[in-house]
Amino acid sequence: MEVEAMQTFEVGDAVVPEEGGDIAGTGDAAVTGRVTAALTRLLPALERYHATADAPHFPAYVPGTVPSEPLALPDDGVGLDATLDELAVAVEHGCRISAPGFVGFITTGATTSGVAAATATALAGGQRYLVHAFNALERTGIRWLAELCGLPADTYGVLSSGGSTAQLLALGAARQAAFERLGVDVAADGLAGGVRGRIYVSDRGHRTIHRAAAVLGLGRDAVRGIPSLPGGQVDPDALEAALAQDRAAGLVPIAIVAVAGSTDTGSVDPIARLVEIARRHDTWLHVDGAYGLLANASPTQAPAFDGVRDADSWIVDPHKWLATGVGVGATFVRDADVLTRAFAEGEAAYLEGSFSTVPEDGASQFDLMAGAWADQSLELSAPPRGVLVWAVLREIGRAGLAARIDRHVGFARHLAARVAAEPRLELLCDAQLSIVCFRYAPPPGVDGDVLTARVLERLRRETPFVPSSTVVRGVYALRPCFINPRTTRREVDGLVDAVLRFGDEATSTPR
């Protein structure tokens, strides 16, 4: 049901703690008030965390600053203030994926609106199923996200902890639909003995697809890797041949996966062509857009996603390009019922029996279940993660996200142009979306993979510029990916300059 309006209520005789205190007489060891004071105590550490963004290199890990091995469980707690002080130390030595020079894995820290939303949700968000303000924002966030990605208006969405779970949900729905076409309710009855299914994805497909196949009982070997073309996109002709071959062998096609932004090179499969193939073979078409699908929000990048509206399911991670903070993934399906049939946990008297079926004026927020997500995911208890999506998009809007995407794609193209113009560097694949793969060109007699590994190690230890790596056509490559809202052109050029310097030093030093 849609939440039409928020209800208000009078405090009446409820006991409300004074600011800075707790409800007297509870006898609990934990402080339940003093929220303002607690957050204020942490603020200096949080500000110092951001102040180190322009440091000349990432701080080295100092063993013992925060114990790496679990401490003994204390019999008596140290209290809130001492706990906050220890947490402040952890903040200052925390993960630096939000620093402007981190261009490695496709993840980044939250922008300020996401931090604020996460804090508010932790305190007041509760469960996403009940009728309250955060449930309404969850629904809005899901709807906005689908619209940004260019999905049909009636697309149904559910949020989870990230792309791994989102992938599992989408492929679980695909498995359910595939076996229902054979007259089997696989969620109820399980896989029939001797029946083998297939999932098709390019050899650039993410390994979460293989893990989902394993969890769904299909087996990792059920994922058939289809050769990719030189640009990284799947070869449609090879896909057609594989489908025909497997059908002749009696295998059940579960899904074709179109990769909308591969993790290693950023390539986008020809989605419209894959939709045609899927329809011809009566097969589910799933779009893995965990990284790249949000680029469809930019009119400049949208042509690469032609045909995406015609798929059966999609995933996208708001904690990537949208920068909500880690822990937010989305699954969208065309048919919500098949998702429910695949993942429904079944009714329980203690849950469904606690709610009314007919809303009445003046109903409590605890009278109704305001969402079916418990039966469409792996989670029963879950926070309203969509609030983070809502907050970021409420702040920057569609135009703000599109501008971010275009800026980051521009960074990738600028870096690729610099590499192409520099004889000492080697471009290993064209810039696709916001990813570039390159390396310092090894002189004769020098092992290029070893040289690249040395350069990458020095980048991590001595500079604020940290890409990750991958292998392109058998060659070990540096792989920056630009999704971080804090990254500027300065970091892009700084990375190239550092690679040149380290490569020069490595190839001129006698060994």
- In this prediction, residue 67 has a pLDDT band, given cuts at 50, 70 and 90, of low
Q: Average pLDDT for residues 33-62, to the nearest whole number?
A: 80
Length of the chain: 511
pLDDT higher than 70, residue 13: no
Rounded percentage of the chain residues whose pLDDT exceeds 70: 87
In degrees, to the nearest 5, what angle opens at C-alpha 437 toward C-alphas 434 and 441? 145
- In this prediction, residue 2 has a pLDDT band, given cuts at 50, 70 and 90, of very low
- In this prediction, residue 501 has a pLDDT band, given cuts at 50, 70 and 90, of very high
The predicted pLDDT at position 133 comes to: 86
For 422-482, where are the alpha helices, taking DSSP H only? Answer: 448-462
For 283-360, where are the alpha helices, taking DSSP H only? Answer: 336-343
pLDDT tens-digit series, residues 483-495: 999 999 999 999 9
The predicted pLDDT at position 12 comes to: 40
Longest pairwise C-alpha distance within the chain: 83
How is the chain split into domains, by residue range?
120-395
pLDDT tens-digit series, residues 99-143: 899 999 898 989 999 999 999 999 988 888 777 888 899 999 999
pLDDT higher than 70, residue 509: no
The predicted pLDDT at position 32 comes to: 85
Q: How far is CA 290 from CA 25, 209, 224, 240, in A?
A: 49, 12, 20, 25
pLDDT higher than 90, residue 212: yes
pLDDT tens-digit series, residues 279-325: 999 999 999 999 999 999 999 999 999 999 999 999 999 999 999 99
The pairing of strands 329-333 and 156-160 is antiparallel
The predicted pLDDT at position 339 comes to: 95
pLDDT higher than 50, residue 20: no
Whole-angstrom Cα Rg for the chain: 25
pLDDT higher than 50, residue 19: no
| Residue 59 CA neighbour count, 13 Å, CB half | 18
- In this prediction, residue 360 has a pLDDT band, given cuts at 50, 70 and 90, of low
Give the chain's mean pLDDT: 88
Q: How far is CA 455 from CA 100, 292, 452, 469, 492, in A?
A: 19, 28, 5, 11, 16
Strand order in the sheet with 156-160: 156-160, 329-333, 313-316, 284-288, 252-259, 197-202, 223-226
pLDDT higher than 70, residue 61: no
The predicted pLDDT at position 419 comes to: 98
The predicted pLDDT at position 471 comes to: 94
What are the φ/ψ torsions at residue 437 (nearest 5 degrees)? -120, 125
pLDDT tens-digit series, residues 367-409: 666 677 777 788 888 888 999 999 999 999 999 999 999 999 9
Q: Average pLDDT for residues 351-366, to the nearest whole number?
A: 65
Give 357 or 47, the one with higher predicted confidence.
47
Q: How many CB atoms lie within 10 A of CB 489?
A: 12
**Which one, of 129, 29, 18, 122, lies nearest residue 74 by Cα?**
29
Cα 200 to chain centroid distance, Å, stands at 22
Q: Average pLDDT for residues 179-199, to the nearest whole number?
A: 91
What are the φ/ψ torsions at residue 70 (nearest 5 degrees)? -60, 135
Q: Does domain 120-395 have CATH number 3.40.640.10?
A: yes
Give the whole-angstrom CA distance, residue 349 versus residue 367. Answer: 15
CB 341 within 8 A of CB 185: yes
DSSP state of 63: T
Give the whole-angstrom CA distance, residue 375 versus residue 372. Answer: 6
Give the whole-angstrom CA distance, residue 343 versus residue 400. Answer: 36
Predicted structure pTM score = 0.90
DSSP state of 193: T
pLDDT tens-digit series, residues 467-485: 999 999 899 999 999 999 9
Give the whole-angstrom CA distance, residue 287 versus residue 260. Answer: 7
Give the whole-angstrom CA distance, residue 67 versus residue 86. Answer: 11
H/E element holding 198?
strand 197-202
The predicted pLDDT at position 491 comes to: 96
**Which one, of 344, 346, 348, lies nearest residue 373 by Cα?**
344
Name 284's bridge partners: 255
Give the whole-angstrom CA distance, residue 233 versus residue 226. Answer: 10
Give 199 or 17, the one with higher predicted confidence.
199
pLDDT higher than 70, residue 96: yes
Give the whole-angstrom CA distance, residue 367 versus residue 356. Answer: 6
H/E element holding 386?
helix 386-421
